[in-house]
């Protein structure tokens, strides 16, 4: 077991170090999310009462679009110098590689969320009327839902023409229930009108179902060539 | 099998004609909604056919991953394509009916949203097949089809939280429905199922032929390289 956990750790730290040195994905995601925040803010110009109701949708749409930047470069980076082929011929378990990539993307998107959320709070005058600690749970589960399917579909669309467009086209339809759950949970916590419990349970189910499905099919997708 | 196709095609056309006659002439006009209710015979039949075809696609995708047979993949492609067409018919006839009856074209109701999401997932499936150029397209498509099917219960429960405006099924609770309406409905249901499966079969044959032509061309170019040496 130490072997596969070690491989996961090695790949994860390699990706984090690469990102720390270049900061390509982080910069692009941050600036992209910032643009979305500003443009939404211009086009809606909401009052504090309204913004509480729409903020859940705005935040998650901004994060969804921005996270595609990180997801797209997950595997594309490994195509250079035939690194992915080396993974394929190596006896290392495919799933530990997949987990490393998912964890890496989880870290990138979480950093984006931690940096962007204060900006949202300032621009939209947000203050949670419901139990605010639940926002952390929703953020964690929602981010996992996005990156686990996103990493999988990035591998799936690796061999298509214009794969950078292909990823959101595959990811967004499947993510609809998760996105709905994130948006509704965030809105109900911010407005404090409803309980977010149902949506959190739905997110947990979504995460479990698609984490298992991805782990089950990833080896097949990696070796398909 | 090849000879059966024209016979079945003619039978289906005749049956469809009979079903249309039943729906438009024989079935009585609904009391509150009027003639627009007749769209129901096509709407529900198309929805059922689309569901059946997507189910065939799901089964074919699993069988493909297990057996890797090209013909099963052709069936998966054919059923998904024809299913999307029938799903589009559902999404178009629904608003035509809803506008005079509900007064709105569209509402984010359970069944409407579910159908739309199903449609979106299968369009993305077809796009993946269109954009993917490698020989591994069938594997990727089959995996995506299974992911899409796994997604459906989650979509269902996420939308279940919303208010349901779609009319509940009226069959089976009391004798409030005219038997001629019921007859027209079931005739249309069977006619549309036959029609859908027939089109799917034609598309399947076409896809198998395309695969054969591709193989022949690959073989030919190999032989040409040999003979030119």
Share of chain B above pLDDT 90, in %: 37
A182 lies within 8 A of chain B by CB: no
A20 pLDDT more than 60? yes
- Compute the distance between CA of residue B224 and CA of residue B229 in angstroms, rounded to an integer: 9
B173 pLDDT more than 50? no
Residue B218, domain extent: 4-164+182-228
Contact A16, A110 (CB under 8 A): no
Phi-psi region of A81 (alpha: psi -120 to 50; beta: other; left: phi over 0): left
B174 pLDDT more than 80? no
**Per-domain boundaries in chain A:** 2-223
Nearest to B117 among A160, A173, A213 (CB): A173
- Compute the distance between CA of residue A164 and CA of residue B75 in angstroms, rounded to an integer: 29
Residue B173 lies in a domain: no
Dump pLDDT digits (tens) for B86-99: 999 999 998 888 88
A157 lies within 8 A of chain B by CB: yes
Contact B84, B168 (CB under 8 A): no
Nearest to B136 among A178, A210, A224 (CB): A224
> What pairs with residue A160 in β-bridges?
B132
Contact A195, A71 (CB under 8 A): no
Nearest residue to B53 via CA among B71, B74, B72, B76 = B76
Dump pLDDT digits (tens) for A70-89: 898 888 888 888 888 888 88
**pLDDT for the residue B39:** 85
Dump pLDDT digits (tens) for B135-159: 788 899 999 999 999 988 888 887 7
Nearest residue to B43 via CA among B33, B31, B57 = B33
Dump pLDDT digits (tens) for B180-199: 888 888 888 899 999 999 99
Among the listed ranges A52-56, A59-63, A70-74, which one has the minimum average pLDDT value? Answer: A52-56
Q: Which chain A residues touch B133 with a CB distance below 8 Å?
A: 159-161
C-alpha dist (Å) from residue A172 to A179, B98, B103, B126, B198? 9, 28, 31, 15, 32
**pLDDT for the residue B170:** 52
- Compute the distance between CA of residue B229 and CA of residue B212 in angstroms, rounded to an integer: 26
Non-local CB neighbours of A57 within 8 Å, separated by 6+ positions = A183, A187
- Compute the distance between CA of residue B72 and CA of residue B51 in angstroms, rounded to an integer: 18
Contact A179, A59 (CB under 8 A): no
Nearest to B148 among A161, A174, A178 (CB): A174
Average per-residue pLDDT in chain B? Answer: 85
A162 pLDDT more than 60? yes
Total structural domains within chain B: 1
Average per-residue pLDDT in chain A? Answer: 86
> What pairs with residue B34 in β-bridges?
B30
**pLDDT confidence tier of residue B1, bands split at 50, 70 and 90:** low
B33 pLDDT more than 90? no
Residue B177 lies in a domain: no
Residue B116 lies in a domain: yes
Among the listed ranges A45-54, A69-78, A108-117, B145-154, which one has the minimum average pLDDT value? Answer: A45-54
For helices B110-131 and B137-160, give the axis angle rounded to 10 degrees.
170
Residue B88 lies in a domain: yes
C-alpha dist (Å) from residue A63 to A36, A58, A135, A190? 9, 9, 15, 18
**pLDDT confidence tier of residue A140, bands split at 50, 70 and 90:** very high
């Amino acid at each position: 077991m130490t072997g596969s956990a070690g491989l996961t750790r090695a790949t994860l730290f390699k990706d984090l170090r690469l990102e720390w040195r270049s900061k390509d994905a982080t910069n692009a995601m941050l600036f992209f999310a910032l643009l979305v925040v500003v443009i939404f803010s211009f086009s809606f110009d909401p009052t504090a009462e309204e913004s509480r109701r729409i903020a859940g949708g705005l935040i998650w749409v901004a994060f969804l679009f921005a996270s595609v930047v990180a997801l797209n470069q997950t595997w594309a980076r490994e195509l250079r110098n035939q690194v992915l082929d080396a993974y394929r011929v190596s006896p290392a378990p495919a799933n530990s590689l997949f987990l490393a990539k998912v964890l890496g993307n989880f870290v990138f998107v979480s950093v984006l969320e931690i940096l962007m959320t204060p900006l949202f709070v300032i621009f939209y005058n947000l203050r949670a009327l419901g139990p605010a600690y639940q926002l952390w749970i929703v953020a964690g589960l929602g981010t996992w839902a996005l990156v686990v399917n996103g990493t999988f579909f990035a591998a799936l669309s690796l061999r298509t023409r214009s794969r950078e467009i292909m990823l959101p086209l595959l990811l967004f339809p499947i993510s609809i229930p998760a996105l709905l759950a994130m948006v509704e949970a965030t809105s109900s916590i911010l407005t404090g009108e409803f309980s977010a419990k149902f949506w959190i349970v739905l997110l947990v189910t979504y995460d479990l179902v698609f984490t298992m499905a991805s782990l089950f099919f990833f080896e097949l997708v990696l070796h398909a060539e | 099998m090849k000879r059966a196709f024209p016979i079945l095609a003619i039978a289906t056309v005749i049956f469809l004609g009979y079903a249309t006659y039943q729906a438009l002439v024989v079935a009585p006009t609904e009391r509150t909604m009027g003639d627009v209710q007749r769209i129901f015979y096509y709407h529900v039949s198309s929805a059922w056919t689309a569901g059946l075809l997507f189910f065939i696609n799901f089964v074919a995708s699993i069988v493909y991953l297990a057996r890797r047979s090209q013909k099963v993949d052709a069936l998966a492609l054919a059923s998904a394509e024809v299913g999307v067409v029938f799903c589009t018919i559902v999404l178009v006839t629904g608003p035509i009916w809803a506008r005079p009856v509900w007064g709105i074209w569209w509402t984010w109701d359970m069944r409407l949203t579910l159908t739309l999401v199903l449609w979106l997932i299968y369009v993305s499936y077809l796009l993946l097949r269109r954009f993917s150029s490698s020989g591994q397209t069938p594997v990727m498509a089959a995996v995506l089809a299974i992911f899409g099917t796994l997604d459906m219960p989650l979509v269902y429960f996420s939308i279940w939280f919303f208010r349901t405006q779609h009319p509940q099924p009226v069959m089976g609770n009391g004798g409030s429905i005219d038997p001629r309406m019921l007859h027209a409905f079931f005739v249309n249901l069977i006619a549309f199922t036959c029609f859908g499966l027939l089109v799917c079969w034609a598309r399947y044959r076409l896809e198998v032929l395309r695969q054969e032509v591709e193989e022949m061309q690959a073989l030919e170019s190999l032989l040409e390289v040999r003979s030119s040496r």
